[in-house]
Amino acid sequence: VITLMNVLVVLTSLIAVIFSSMYYYNSREFIELLLGQPVKRTSVFLGQYLGVSLSLSLSLLLGLLVPFVFYGSLDGVIVKQVAVLLASGVFQNFIFSAIAYNLAVANENRIKGFGYAIFVWLFLAVLYDGTFLMLLMSYNEYPLEKFSLVATLLNPVDLSRILILLQLDISALMGYTGAVFKQFFGTGLGVLCAVSMLVLWVLLPVWRLKRLAVKKDF
């Protein structure tokens, strides 16, 4: 499951960014045709976004569930672990597809829009963790428990990683920070905060996409 977690967190978000950006830029002529019809702009853009996100999520669910069911691995505790794994993957698809669509709609130049989308993924998946660790090491003499929790909540990739790791009961390998995460995210309030932040990470880009769709001029 740890291997699946790494593939899920890194590749799922990357595929969502790449596929969403490519799909938007390749279908711009079709979007212009639709906008010439009596159809709401928000319906066109949000419909495409939901279509891409749901397709990616469905392929993820089938791709992960079929092997588990085929090999009879869905029994006991692993069912909950797989459920959290799949839920995190679905959230990653919706979040990064929304981010990619925002950047693509805002940039006419496909190279620039595609580059911005890849940079956002690279920052959230790789650079954010490096910066976070450098800050923790530089200020390790100060109480950083609340800072660590807030910094984790602000990154959907790290948030998904933490939720999956806590389901695997290996938070002890993360040391003192893992104990702090388990103490917070292991409670009902912690899970509610984590899910709320993931939902917020979906809703905010979608809200901005609606505003961009209304003002978009081809």
Residues in the chain: 218
Percentage of residues in the chain with pLDDT exceeding 90?
A: 29
Phi, psi of 155 (to 5 degrees): -125, 115
Q: Is 103 exposed, middle or buried (0-12, 13-18, 19+ CB in 10 A)?
A: buried
Give the pLDDT confidence score for residue 57 in this predicted structure: 93
Highest mean pLDDT among 26-30, 53-57, 167-171: 53-57
Position 136 scores a pLDDT of: 74
Q: How far is CA 139 from CA 59, 152, 175, in A?
A: 43, 17, 17
Per-residue pLDDT, 63:
84
Average pLDDT over residues 93-97: 94
Q: Which residue has the higher pLDDT, 185 or 25?
A: 25
Residue 162 has pLDDT above 90, yes or no: no
DSSP assignment of 22-43, as one string? Answer: HHHHHTHHHHHHHHTSS--HHH
